[in-house]
Structure 1
Amino acid sequence: MPETPSDTNPGTAPETFVLHGLEGPAEIRVDRWGIAHIEARSLHDVFFLQGWNAARDRLWQIDLWRKRGLGLLAADFGPGYLAQDHAARHFLYRGDMDAEWAAYGDGTRDICAAFVAGINAWIALTRVEPDRLPPEFALLGTRPASWEPEDVVRIRSHALVHNALSEILRAQVLGRADAETDRLRADLEPPVDPGSLTGPDPRDVPLAACELYKLGTAPVSFEPARLQATLDEAPSWSRVTAQAEVVRRLADEGSNNWAVHGERTETGRPILASDPHRTQAVPSLRYLVHLRAPGLDVIGAGEPAVPGVSIGHNQDLAFGLTIFRADQEDVYVYVYETDPADPDRYRYGGGWESVVRVDERFAVKGCPDQHLALSFTRHGPILHQDHRRRRLVAIRSVWAEPGSAAYLGSLSYLRADTVDAFARSLSHWGSPAVNHVAADTKGDIGWFTAGLVPLRANWPGILPVPGDGRYEWQGFRDAAALPRAKNPAGGFVASANEMNLPKSFLAKGAPSIGHEWADGSRARRIRQTLSEQTRHGLADSAALQTDVLSLIAKRLCACLENLPATGDTGAALRLLSGWNSCLTAQSAPAALFELWWMTHLRPGILGRFAPDPDLRRLLLPGDLDRLVVLIETPEPAWSTEDRDALLTRTLAAAWADCATRLGPDPAAWAWSRLHQALMRHAASPLRGNAEWDVGPHGVGGSQSTVMNMAYRPEDFSVTSGASVRLVMDVGDWDRSLCLNYPGQSGDPRSRHYADLAETWAASDHVPFLYSPDAISKATARLLRFKPATSPGRSAV
């Protein structure tokens, strides 16, 4: 693979850079796995070099991230991106910036200023040495833009928040069917009967209300037709993927984490593991980096456009996170009519309020600047307006609140030295809502949920509500009052996006935190495994991160014993008989099971309870836990005979389907022949080749195994899973393990662009080094930095 100019000097011979904005000498050691270890003499310089280094490895990615989030794509790419820019700007933070900076704790503004100064220093270097620019810029004829500190925090649409789309879908389902049918889409825990709630007529909350939100949070695509679109064609690029695909993506993105107390480990020290699951892409969403300066020595994974790290460890404390599906959004519907004399006025309380229209200028490549209005009610952006019916639909989200920039709250805990200090720091965590786990060198472990969780005094937040003032947030839950635990009796803490609210939060009358959670299979498997291991080791955590036992497969296969063992059904039963329910890459039963479950049985159940195809589309991809329960205990929803008939019919169909796809000999079947991870570079459609793509890799697992490998049922292509995996030995840090798939660099010319892909596909890890001695021995490249002594001195 051709190397980027930044990788042309492997080995330890140092390269020297002289940088304006740097206060003192510093260095970066890049180890053989592409992890940058940054050492500086001040906090300013270490964050300055974090930004410089992020741009060195990920400039195309973070430049696109900034332009997408700020709504600046059309200036580079033309009218086909104008609608996406317009949507994205609705979700920017528009509040008081002093309150915003203060929300993250002392020093955040200075850190962000240093970080973006470092990014800008690298951009300045590319102007002097254009060969350092990633090749995507030349392909698309663009240049990177300079950053402002506010750019780091104002972009909100990258965070995972819940549950506006689900509220709209629930209203649609209830308009066509009933609450029991909606449980097939998203079961509710703690239980709530949506049918007992009064709300707007579903006609007042159309599916079209999803479109602005979907477009404003969508990734960027580069189809030739989109890049060639004229200004007249701009509106045709205002829709993104199908509703089911968007909902599936949100459902599949989660994480695992756990911390095991030293009383249950081989060494007597805690072990902490964390592997966030997000949409798989090239380059990776996460980036590993080590920051060392006076008072700071932290290593871990963050997002390359954000300073600090959110998952990792310092010298005293390890920390990891998963999404905690608290409800941080609400949809408001102004159903009592806007003012007949002025559709821009709506009822609130006893009077009228005016829609706020913000005129904004959009630069568009090859066209005059365009001026478009952004529209807001007191609750937030208007998602949909129907002038004929005089209706408005708007959204309120924690994104509008100070302190909700994704993961930036991690800056408050980078120097925490104990689990208790870590817990205190979480008052600065806003978005996304997460389950933190932490473990310190004193031996303590803890689980702490964090995030801005609205207080709803009179409704559970599962359906759109009138926006007339009767349904308002009463502030937010106190951070210390959210669910948490320290040193529990079981000897470990763990989470995997499941419903994990303690009993005290489930009591009748308790304020709602959230009701929609991930399939609980991963969490149950993690807890089962950790409970059985009395002497847990690093290898055990690494193996658990890549565990492919499917509890769903075990549960469903247990329902097959009374089926007739004849024909294709009999052949399928014989293959599944005695199977260990592990979705290993080379397993023939795994291939048959997943094909049966996701392509035949799941649609069969949905078709049985929702025969209307339009309704059925609203239910996709379906609540997997709820669907399995309907198979395990059919009565009273349907009869055991009907259940067995569906099992028999779909199992025979799956056998025939598997033979068509993989050949007539079951001995040649393998799950990995169907289940493929192919990471396509966003610009590959423009190149006409797959040189920048990574894969395909045939892999095991599914969205219901601890090794989360979610896929599209249509073609079994992997869509999300763990790109970063960390396993940390708390106190003996150099024994820790990590992986960042497919590699650390985002530059296709770099040796580190895809050098970890095969390791990832083999379910393996690489060393996660921390001590100066270990880093020195593993250094593959050494970069040294000096501050410029005068404004006239060269930047390189």
Structure 2
Amino acid sequence: MIYLKRLAILLLAALLLLAGTMAVYAWRSLPQTEGKVSVSGLSAAVDVLRDADGIAHLFAKTPADAYYALGYVHAQDRMWQMEMNRRMATGTLAEVFGAQALPSDRVFRTLGLQAIAERNLAALDANTRATLDAYSQGVNAYLAGHPVLAPEFVIAGFRPGPWQPSDSLAFFRLMAWRMAGNLWDELATAELSQQFSPAQVAELMPAYPGDQRPALPDLKQRYAGTGSPWAGLLAALPERQPVGIGSNSWALAGSRTDSGKPLLANDPHLMLSAPTLWYLAQLHAPGLDVIGATLPGMPGVILGRNQHVAWSFTNTHSDVVDLFLEKQLPGDSSHYLTPEGSAAFAVREERIRVKDGDDVLLRVRSTRHGPVISDVLERAGHLAGEGGVMALSWVGLRDDDLSLQFPLKAALAVDGSGLLAATRDFHSPQQNIVYADTAGSIGFIAAGRVPQRQADNDLMGRAPSPGWEARYDWQGFIPFDDLPQQRDPANGELVTANQKITPPGYNRWITSNWVLPYRAERIHELLAEGANHSRDGMQRMQMDASNPVARQLLPLMLQVPAHDARTREAVQRLANWDGAMLRERAEPLIYAEWLRLFTERLYGERLGDLFEQVGAHNPAFIASVLWDRAGASRWCGEALGEADGVTACRRMLGDSLAQTLDNLSQQYGDAMSGWQWGDAHKAVSRHAVFGDVPVLSRLFNLSIANDGGRDTVNYAGYYYDPVSRQYLDDVGPGLRAVYDLNDPQASGFILSSGQSGNPFSAHYSDMLEGWANGRLVPMISERKRLEQQAHHTLELAPRP
């Protein structure tokens, strides 16, 4: 018995020692936020003032020192995030994670983002290169202090190497790649063409309302002999852009506001992550005073304001990628066919280091259109018949991309005209940049490079093109002055929510993949409810959860027979519902489950693996089927094997509703009054590496019940998880901001997580609840006001 007591005491002591060690490690891994640190490379001391929300305010004597300090605090709070983005962009994940990361490394080595970044660096102006140097010195000054790093580095068992200026540019190219979604649309169209007629493909992928999209040629005939490799390409490509990546932004002129000066709202919708993509910071130095959202790994405020002008982004969704089928010469894999005859592939070799394995040598071929991506996709097969390959053209692969100059110049703009001038350097990814200034002006431009395609191009970037035909080659880019833009509209409002932003009669091709205008129309509707609007009103609009798609579809869906009390209750609830996707309501849950089941029955089984690519959320197609436009109800009839499509749709709706009520009763009980959207609908911010690892995911991931849906202003890009049987948001507004040009200090912003990337920090998730409830953090940049509030100050001092 005495031995058992001693063993228990020893085990308890061991557990206490382990807990104490973990507590000491957790405390030491947090960044130093007070006192003084001597560093090399500064010209003068910089004060790093962190407010109660952990937002870093950097007060320096020179702009270069301010950007140096930004690199330092980025590394303090987000070094793991920076390292992962750097390794993904440069194709070096396998070096630390082993062979499992090789598929991603092969693709990004083939794209060559690191080499592109180095050539971009040479093209930048001297000031931007100097800023990149200063920023990199700041990152490396932090690493040179041999800090106790965040827990991910301990778990993965490595330390980051020195930061280089080209690493920031490679990350910028990675961000642009993540928004180049047309690549996947082209592949999906090509695969659909093997199973369906051009008319059916057009029905499944409807044109933008009011557009007359040219009919596609018969792609099945065009791709005859390819062996239908498109699904393999879709499966092999990493990081498919999730459906829903976009944003909201709207500006009001002083004639539409209570203060008489402009207001600007912005919430970019990207992948939710823990920590979020964005990091809030202020940079202050003589001639420089800018505050807003930065990207760890990159110098500059990407979205924000100075004392004169504020600016925001939404994704244009322009078509900036084309895939080209290339024909190798028979018996000669070193040459391919061009309109002028044969040409040699450009060839380079990449060495990929692999943890616990041998190095992998990768032979990369390129054509006149770009890198051959089919060489690194194991399931691709032959793409253009015997001896075919596929090459990729993307505007983000150009050597002369100057996009990083934009945020540095925007920070110095003194009005809207200066901000507009800065957008000339913004090349990719194309963004709708909305701006407002203290003088009262508002404006927008869809800034970025967009390929000009020829009039006889019958594909217009909607499907892979024959690379040996000259009519599919790009003819430069749309000139800057011809890009869609507007200044000081007569109605005093500008709205961009990824909808079509070209004016009537615009004769340049931007894309055929505009996001449907539901959010934009709802924003206009809200703006029309009052003559003048306040800062608080703009903030409330960002949280609007009214679902216009539900309001459009439910009158059609509710034409189902209600033979029992349960069905009658559900139908009555939905008939009386205002469409608001609020977490405490039952109706959003019933609607979402019903629409999901109906959609799967309608075309999920027929599409198979392509269902995810076309999208489980296809409201324009669903509306056409339910309205029986051009006989589209036949999709219901074909799914059920019935001749009468309209009757088949009603039967399918009725069966789907019955299954909905069965599912929800099993999950949440029989009483509908107890069902809540928030019980099933969560915003989930996953960790980039350990988010799906048991035990570790509990430490790193963040989750909260959330309002909104796929078509609401308060955007919630959810997918259905069959394991948890929940609707999980993986796309949403990681940042919200409202800028008040009457009183810039009254502006506000917030993140979907917190400032820190360390899960042991109080600032890892301290903004999450406020974010879900529509709160904003004051965007104060006056030092005196900051020092009157709770804060910590760290001095970065030049080493003697």
State the TM-score, normalizing by the size of structure 1.
Answer: 0.88
CA distance in 1, matches of 2:118, 2:105: 26
**Of 283, 292, 297, which residue of structure 1 is paired with 2:275?**
283
| Partner in structure 1 of residue 464 of structure 2 | 464
**Of 625, 630, 655, which residue of structure 1 is paired with 2:625?**
630
Matched to 2:621, the amino acid is: R
Are the counterparts in 2 of residues 329 and 397 from structure 1 also a CA contact under 8 Å? yes
**Greater shift in the superposed pair: 86-95 or 693-702:** 86-95
Are the counterparts in 2 of residues 743 and 754 from structure 1 also a CA contact under 8 Å? yes
CA distance in 1, matches of 2:558, 2:114: 60
| Partner in structure 2 of residue 555 of structure 1 | 552
**Of 222, 229, 236, which residue of structure 2 is paired with 1:206?**
229
CA distance in 2, matches of 1:579, 1:179: 38
Q: Is 1:363 aligned to residue 353 of structure 2?
A: yes
Are the counterparts in 2 of residues 176 and 615 from structure 1 also a CA contact under 8 Å? no
**Of 669, 679, 699, which residue of structure 1 is paired with 2:675?**
669
Deviations 1:572-614 (A, max 9, x none): 21121211110000101111111112x212223325xx84646
Q: What pairs with 1:72-471 in structure 2 (closer than 5 Å)?
A: 72-93=92-113, 100-101=120-121, 107-125=127-145, 127=146, 130-131=147-148, 133-155=149-171, 156-159=173-176, 160-189=179-208, 190-196=211-217, 200-201=222-223, 203-204=225-226, 206-207=229-230, 210=233, 214-215=237-238, 218=239, 246=240, 249=242, 251-334=243-326, 337-384=327-374, 386=381, 389-404=386-401, 409-458=406-455, 459=457, 460-470=460-470, 471=472
CA distance in 1, matches of 2:403, 2:700: 28
| Partner in structure 2 of residue 703 of structure 1 | 710
Deviation at 1:694, TM superposition (A): 4.1
Are the counterparts in 2 of residues 212 and 383 from structure 1 also a CA contact under 8 Å? no
| Partner in structure 1 of residue 6 of structure 2 | none
Alpha-carbon distance change, 650 to 208 in structure 1, aligned in 2, over 3 angstroms: closer
Q: Percent identity, please.
A: 28
Which structure has more relative contact order (CA 8 Å, sep 6+)? It is: 1
Deviations 1:262-297 (A, max 9, x none): 111111111111111111110111111111111111
Q: Is 1:522 aligned to residue 519 of structure 2?
A: yes
CA distance in 2, matches of 1:379, 1:203: 22
Deviation at 1:363, TM superposition (A): 1.8
CA distance in 1, matches of 2:420, 2:92: 38
Q: Is 1:680 aligned to residue 678 of structure 2?
A: no
| Partner in structure 1 of residue 18 of structure 2 | none
Deviations 1:642-678 (A, max 9, x none): 4433333322322222212211100100001110123
Alpha-carbon distance change, 633 to 450 in structure 1, aligned in 2, over 3 angstroms: farther
CA distance in 2, matches of 1:202, 1:416: 54
Deviation at 1:374, TM superposition (A): 1.8
Deviation at 1:134, TM superposition (A): 0.8
Deviation at 1:397, TM superposition (A): 0.4
Alpha-carbon distance change, 540 to 557 in structure 1, aligned in 2, over 3 angstroms: same
Alpha-carbon distance change, 586 to 408 in structure 1, aligned in 2, over 3 angstroms: farther
SS at match of 1:56: helix
Deviations 1:10-29 (A, max 9, x none): 7xxx4111110111111111
CA distance in 1, matches of 2:117, 2:575: 62
Alpha-carbon distance change, 757 to 622 in structure 1, aligned in 2, over 3 angstroms: closer
| Partner in structure 1 of residue 479 of structure 2 | 478
Deviation at 1:194, TM superposition (A): 3.8
CA distance in 2, matches of 1:213, 1:314: 43
Q: Is 1:754 aligned to residue 755 of structure 2?
A: no
Deviations 1:536-575 (A, max 9, x none): 1111111111111000111112224543232243232112
| Partner in structure 2 of residue 235 of structure 1 | none
Q: What pairs with 1:487-526 in structure 2 (closer than 5 Å)?
A: 487-505=488-506, 510-526=507-523
SS at match of 1:677: strand
CA distance in 2, matches of 1:788, 1:134: 25
| Partner in structure 2 of residue 32 of structure 1 | 52
CA distance in 2, matches of 1:685, 1:326: 32
Alpha-carbon distance change, 632 to 294 in structure 1, aligned in 2, over 3 angstroms: farther
CA distance in 1, matches of 2:215, 2:253: 41
Are the counterparts in 2 of residues 552 and 628 from structure 1 also a CA contact under 8 Å? no
CA distance in 1, matches of 2:128, 2:469: 35
Deviation at 1:501, TM superposition (A): 1.8
Q: What pairs with 1:543-622 in structure 2 (closer than 5 Å)?
A: 543-560=540-557, 562-567=559-564, 568-597=566-595, 599-606=596-603, 611=606, 613=608, 616=611, 619-622=614-617
Deviations 1:207-258 (A, max 9, x none): 256359723xx3xxxxxxxxxxxxxxxxxxxxxxxxxxx35x1x21111111
Deviation at 1:424, TM superposition (A): 1.7
**Greater shift in the superposed pair: 302-311 or 757-766:** 757-766
Are the counterparts in 2 of residues 307 and 408 from structure 1 also a CA contact under 8 Å? no
Alpha-carbon distance change, 486 to 170 in structure 1, aligned in 2, over 3 angstroms: same
CA distance in 1, matches of 2:224, 2:534: 53
Are the counterparts in 1 of residues 120 and 402 from structure 2 also a CA contact under 8 Å? no
CA distance in 2, matches of 1:83, 1:383: 12
Q: Is 1:769 aligned to residue 780 of structure 2?
A: yes
Q: Which runs of 5+ in 2 are unaligned?
A: 1-21, 376-380, 634-644
Deviations 1:764-786 (A, max 9, x none): 22212122222222342101121
Deviation at 1:632, TM superposition (A): 4.0
Matched to 1:725, the amino acid is: R
Are the counterparts in 1 of residues 188 and 234 from structure 2 also a CA contact under 8 Å? no
Q: Which runs of 5+ in 1 are unaligned?
A: 219-245, 790-796
SS at match of 1:147: coil
Alpha-carbon distance change, 359 to 706 in structure 1, aligned in 2, over 3 angstroms: same
CA distance in 1, matches of 2:785, 2:202: 53
CA distance in 2, matches of 1:343, 1:102: 34
Are the counterparts in 2 of residues 104 and 411 from structure 1 also a CA contact under 8 Å? no
Alpha-carbon distance change, 750 to 140 in structure 1, aligned in 2, over 3 angstroms: same
**Of 733, 743, 750, which residue of structure 2 is paired with 1:722?**
733
Q: What pairs with 1:653-668 in structure 2 (closer than 5 Å)?
A: 653-668=659-674
Q: Is 1:645 aligned to residue 651 of structure 2?
A: yes
Alpha-carbon distance change, 637 to 324 in structure 1, aligned in 2, over 3 angstroms: same
Are the counterparts in 1 of residues 313 and 434 from structure 2 also a CA contact under 8 Å? yes
CA distance in 2, matches of 1:552, 1:315: 40
Number of aligned positions between the proteins: 742
Structure 1 runs, 4 residues or longer, greater than 6 Å off: 94-99
SS at match of 2:188: helix
CA distance in 1, matches of 2:305, 2:714: 22
CA distance in 2, matches of 1:686, 1:657: 28
Are the counterparts in 2 of residues 158 and 406 from structure 1 also a CA contact under 8 Å? no
Q: Is 1:42 aligned to residue 62 of structure 2?
A: yes
Are the counterparts in 1 of residues 556 and 626 from structure 2 also a CA contact under 8 Å? yes
SS at match of 1:448: strand
Deviation at 1:478, TM superposition (A): 1.4
